[in-house]
Amino acid sequence: MPKASTQPTRLYRIAVPSPLRRTFDYLPASAETFPAQVGCRVRIPFGARRVTGVVTALVSETDVPVEKLRRVEAVLDAEPLFPRSLLSLLVWAADYYQCPIGEVFAAALPTRLRAGEGLVASDERWLTPLTAADDETRETQFAALKRAPRQLALLQLLLARESYSAEEIAAAGFGRPMLRTLQERGLADCVTVTPAPRPHFKNTLATASGASVLAPAVTAALTLTAEQAAAVAAIGAEPESYRGFLLDGVTGSGKTEVYMRAMEQQLALGRQCLVLVPEIGLTPQTIARFSSRFRCPVVALHSGLNESERLSGWTQARDGSAGVIIGTRSALFTPLASPGILIVDEEHDASFKQQDGFRYSARDLAVMRGRAEHMPVVLGSATPSFETLHNASLGKFTHLHLPRSTAALPRAAIELVDIADKPLQQGFSEAALLRLREHVERGNQCLVFINRRGYAPVLTCNSCGWRSECDDCIAQMTVHKTPPRLRCHHCGVSEPLPRLCPHCQSSTLDTFGLGTQKAESFLQRQFPHTPVIRVDRDSTRGKTALGDVLARVDSGESCILLGTQMLAKGHHFPNLTLVVILDADGGLFSADFRGQEHMAQLVTQVAGRAGRAERAGEVLLQTQHAAHATLQSLSNESYAEFSARQLEERLLASLPPFAHLALLRIEATEAEAALGFAATAAQISGQLAEDARLAVQRLGPMPAPMEKRAGRFRVQLLIKSERRGQLQDHLRYLVASLDPIKLPPRLRWSLDVDPQDMI
C-alpha cells in the first residue's frame, strides 16, 4: 500500500493545549507572511475551537492523510518565544513526567501568552499577507472592498510598507476594530516582534549624569570566610559550563552571601541569574537584599502579580533587560536571553514539586536546564533532601559546606521535653511555659511552633462521642474561632459551628487538641503584657499582612511569635532566643516513607530560627516519644549524621534515592470503580513488565492513605524500579496502554513520577 503522504511539504508539528499525549501536524497558513520557527506560537483550529499552540518541530512527512490536514491560521510570533535549549527541556519533561505536551507548555507560559496575546503591546507589528500575493489576488481583494472604503484605505496603507506598529496605525487614523475586521477577512496579520535585544542591562544602567555604570553590584563590605570564598571560587571556576553544587549550611551560615557573589560574577560577564525560592511571600528579605545589592533590574515572578506584571517580568527576562529573576517553582521555565547561573534556595522544600497537572520537580528540572544551557546550578539548604545528598555522595554535585562561622555560635541544641503522662495546659508542658516566661521576662523574642492552623483539630461531644467529621473526606473538620466555623482542610468545605451536638442535641460540645488560634488565646492569657503574634495561612491572607507581621518582629520588640510551618521558611528572625516546638510526633509515624525526613527538616529549620545574631538560642521539643531514635538523633547529632543513618535504611529498604518510584493515582465517586480500574492497571503493568523483562515492581493497588477526599475514593498503585531508565520505559508503555481505555463516568487517573507526597 502506498504511504498516505510522502510528498514533501513543510508541516508544523504543534503542541496543543489538550489532554492528549501527542503533538498535531498542520499545514502552513495559506497566505503565510513569514514562516513559523520552532518555538513560535501559532493560532490553529482544533476541533471546533481555536487555540494557541507552540511549534515543536518542522517536518516534511506525516502519518495523517494530506486531505485531512488543517491549516495554521496565523503565526503569532516572528521569533521563537523559547530558545531551543528550553524548548527541548520542555519536550523532554513532557516525556519524563508522562504529561501531555500541551499541558507542559501551558504551565510554562504566562496566561496572556497562552491566550494568544502579543509579548508586550508595543511590540505588535501589523502587516498584510497580500504583500506576497500576486497582483490578481490583490485586485480581487480590492474589488471586494469597494463598499468598505475605510477598510480599503487601511489595506492600502498596509501595502505601502512591510509592517506598522499599532501606534503608527492609530496615528494614521485607523482604530483597532477596523484592524480586527481586516484581520478577520484574512487581509491583516498581527505579529509580535521581539525588540532587538535591548542593550544589555550592564550597559543600560546610566547614572544621573548619564555616565554608564558597568559594575553590576554594590559590593558589600564583608570579608568572606574561607569556606565562603572557596564556595564562590568553585562555583565560578567554569562560569560557562554546567556544574552542579550543593551548598550545605545552616541558616545564617552565609549561603545567600555566596549566592550573591556567584551572581555578581555572572552579571559582570553580562549574564543573567535565575533564583528559585519556595514561597515569595515568605522571602521579602531575600528579594530586598538582591534588589539593594544589584544595580541591574531585579524582577520577582510570583503569584501576587497581576497578569500584565507577570508578562512584563517574563519579557524582561527573555529579552535580557532583567539581570536577576527571582521566582517560585514555575519561574524555572522563564526564558533567559543570556543564562548565567541557576540557584535553588531551600532546595529540600516540598513546594518545588508541582502536585497536580504537570507534576514536575522544579529542582530536578533546574539541574537539567543547567546542563542544557551550560550554566552552573547551585542547590542550597540547611537540610538538604536525601536525593540531593545522595547525588552529592555519588559525585554528581560538588558538596560545599559552610560551617556556622559567621554567627560564631554553636548550634542551638534541641532539648527534648518528655510529655508522656505529664499534665499539659492547652498542649503546653510546665517546662515549656516556664522557659517562655524566663525569656519573655528578659524582653526576648520567642517562637512557638504548632503545625496546625485553626482553633482545634476536632469538635467532640462528651455525651455521645460524636466528632466533627467531613462528609466528603475521611477526615475531621477543624474548629475555627475567627470566624466561628467548622472547616475541612482537605476539601475546603465549611459549615457553621454547632452549639448543640448534631447527634444527641446535648450542649456538652468540646474542642479537642490544639490549633494556632487556641494557642494564641491561651498564650495571650498567660502573658498579658507581651504581644502574641500568630502567623498562619488564616492570619496572613491580605497582601501585606505577612510583611507587616515580619516587619514588626524585625523591629526587635519582645513578643511571642506563634505559627505553622510558614515560620520555618526563609525568613530570619535575628532576635529570637527561644523556640518551642509543641508537637512534631506526627512525622514519626507517618504513612509516607519520607515522614521522618520531612520532620527532621522541619524541626531543624524551625530550630535554626533561634540564636541567629549575638544571642544564643534554645530549642525545646515536646514529645510523647522521647526515646525515639529519630528524635534522639536530632537532639544529639547533626542533620548530616541523621540523614546519613536514614539513607542507610533507605538503601536496605530499596527506597528512593536508591530506587525510583511512580505513583498511579485513581479517583472515582464509586469505590468499586476506582478499585476495578486499579486492578486492571496493575495487571497491565505486570504483563508489560514481564513481556519486556523490565525490573519493575508494583506495590498495591491499595487505598490511598486518605481514602476519600472531596467525595472521591482514592486508590493508588506504586510502581518501583531500581533502574530509572527501565521505569521510564515501563511508564511509556503503561500510559500508552491505559490511555485508550474507556473510563467509567467520573473516574480519573494520573501518574506522578518521582512523587514527593505519598498521600
Q: How far is the CB of 709 from Zn ion (least distance, A)?
A: 7
Q: Which residues contact 492 (CB under 8 A, 6 or more apart)?
A: none
Answer with the entry of Zn ion, ligand ADP, none that 503 interacts with (C-beta below 5 to 8 A by kind): Zn ion
Query: Is the peptide bond prior to 701 cis by the omega test (within 30 degrees of 0)?
Result: yes
Q: How far is the CB of 705 from Zn ion (least distance, A)?
A: 15
Q: How far is the CB of 575 from ligand ADP (least distance, A)?
A: 13
Q: How far is the CB of 250 from ligand ADP (least distance, A)?
A: 7
**Cell numbers for 232:** 564562590
Distance separating alpha carbons of residues 550 and 544, to the nearest angstrom:
10
Q: How far is the CB of 609 from ligand ADP (least distance, A)?
A: 10
Is 222 in a helix, a strand, or coil?
A: coil
CB 523 within 8 A of CB 559: no
Answer with the entry of Zn ion, ligand ADP, none that 509 interacts with (C-beta below 5 to 8 A by kind): none
- Beta bridge partners of residue 534, listed in sequence order: 562
Answer with the entry of ligand ADP, Zn ion, none that 514 interacts with (C-beta below 5 to 8 A by kind): none
576-581, strands of its sheet edge to edge: 414-418, 618-623, 576-581, 445-449, 559-563, 532-535
Nearer Cβ to ligand ADP (52/381): 381
Residue linked to cell 529498604: 653
DSSP structure string for 113-156? HHTT--SSGGGEEEE-GGGGS-HHHHHHHHHHTTT-HHHHHHHH
Nearest to 607 by CA among 567, 643, 645: 567
Distance separating alpha carbons of residues 332 and 350, to the nearest angstrom:
15
β-pairing verdict for 458-461 and 509-512: antiparallel
Nearer Cβ to ligand ADP (480/612): 612
**Cell numbers for 513:** 487538641
**Cell numbers for 27:** 499545514
Q: How far is the CB of 513 from Zn ion (least distance, A)?
A: 17
Q: How far is the CB of 619 from ligand ADP (least distance, A)?
A: 17
Distance separating alpha carbons of residues 324 and 54, to the nearest angstrom:
27
Answer with the entry of ligand ADP, Zn ion, none that 228 interacts with (C-beta below 5 to 8 A by kind): ligand ADP
Answer with the entry of Zn ion, ligand ADP, none that 255 interacts with (C-beta below 5 to 8 A by kind): ligand ADP
Answer with the entry of ligand ADP, Zn ion, none that 249 interacts with (C-beta below 5 to 8 A by kind): ligand ADP
**Cell numbers for 612:** 541567629
Nearer Cβ to Zn ion (474/718): 474
Nearest to 366 by CA among 392, 341, 389: 341
Distance separating alpha carbons of residues 526 and 542, to the nearest angstrom:
28
Query: Is the peptide bond prior to 35 cis by the omega test (within 30 degrees of 0)?
Result: no
CB 333 within 8 A of CB 255: no
Nearer Cβ to Zn ion (82/466): 466
Q: How far is the CB of 512 from Zn ion (least distance, A)?
A: 14
Answer with the entry of Zn ion, ligand ADP, none that 193 interacts with (C-beta below 5 to 8 A by kind): none
Nearer Cβ to ligand ADP (308/638): 638
Nearer Cβ to Zn ion (491/718): 491
CB 321 within 8 A of CB 308: no
Nearer Cβ to Zn ion (166/459): 459
Answer with the entry of ligand ADP, Zn ion, none that 473 interacts with (C-beta below 5 to 8 A by kind): Zn ion
Q: How far is the CB of 570 from Zn ion (least distance, A)?
A: 30
Answer with the entry of ligand ADP, Zn ion, none that 352 interacts with (C-beta below 5 to 8 A by kind): none
Nearer Cβ to ligand ADP (191/378): 378
Nearest to 189 by CA among 150, 149, 152, 162: 162
Answer with the entry of Zn ion, ligand ADP, none that 504 interacts with (C-beta below 5 to 8 A by kind): Zn ion
Q: How far is the CB of 399 from ligand ADP (least distance, A)?
A: 16
Answer with the entry of ligand ADP, Zn ion, none that 251 interacts with (C-beta below 5 to 8 A by kind): ligand ADP
Distance separating alpha carbons of residues 640 and 300, to the nearest angstrom:
32
Distance separating alpha carbons of residues 602 and 600, to the nearest angstrom:
5
Answer with the entry of ligand ADP, Zn ion, none that 225 interacts with (C-beta below 5 to 8 A by kind): ligand ADP
CB 446 within 8 A of CB 579: yes
Q: How far is the CB of 259 from ligand ADP (least distance, A)?
A: 8
Q: How far is the CB of 604 from ligand ADP (least distance, A)?
A: 13
Residue linked to cell 447527634: 503
Q: What are phi and psi of 673, to 5 degrees?
A: -65, -45
Distance separating alpha carbons of residues 417 and 349, to the nearest angstrom:
27
Q: How far is the CB of 710 from ligand ADP (least distance, A)?
A: 38
Nearest to 755 by CA among 728, 726, 719: 719
Q: How far is the CB of 292 from ligand ADP (least distance, A)?
A: 12
Nearer Cβ to ligand ADP (209/555): 555
Answer with the entry of ligand ADP, Zn ion, none that 427 interacts with (C-beta below 5 to 8 A by kind): none
Distance separating alpha carbons of residues 29 and 718, to the nearest angstrom:
46
Q: What's the DSSP call for residue 611?
A: S
Nearer Cβ to ligand ADP (140/292): 292
Nearer Cβ to ligand ADP (152/247): 247
Nearer Cβ to ligand ADP (295/571): 571
Nearer Cβ to Zn ion (504/759): 504
Exposed, middle or buried: residue 495 (CB in 10 Å: 0-12, 13-18, 19+)?
A: middle
Nearest to 473 by CA among 485, 491, 496: 491
DSSP structure string for 459-475? EEETTT--B-B-SSSSS
Nearer Cβ to ligand ADP (258/470): 258
Distance separating alpha carbons of residues 620 and 635, to the nearest angstrom:
10
Q: How many residues does the chain have?
A: 759
Distance separating alpha carbons of residues 346 and 683, to the nearest angstrom:
40
Nearer Cβ to Zn ion (470/688): 470
Site residues, Zn ion (CB under 5 A) = 461, 463-464, 466, 470, 472-473, 488, 490-491, 501, 503-504
Answer with the entry of Zn ion, ligand ADP, none that 254 interacts with (C-beta below 5 to 8 A by kind): ligand ADP
Answer with the entry of Zn ion, ligand ADP, none that 500 interacts with (C-beta below 5 to 8 A by kind): none
CB 580 within 8 A of CB 360: no
Q: How far is the CB of 461 from Zn ion (least distance, A)?
A: 3
Answer with the entry of Zn ion, ligand ADP, none that 406 interacts with (C-beta below 5 to 8 A by kind): ligand ADP
CB 518 within 8 A of CB 562: no
Nearer Cβ to ligand ADP (229/591): 229
Q: How far is the CB of 569 from ligand ADP (least distance, A)?
A: 12
Site residues, ligand ADP (CB under 6 A) = 222-225, 228, 249, 251-257, 406
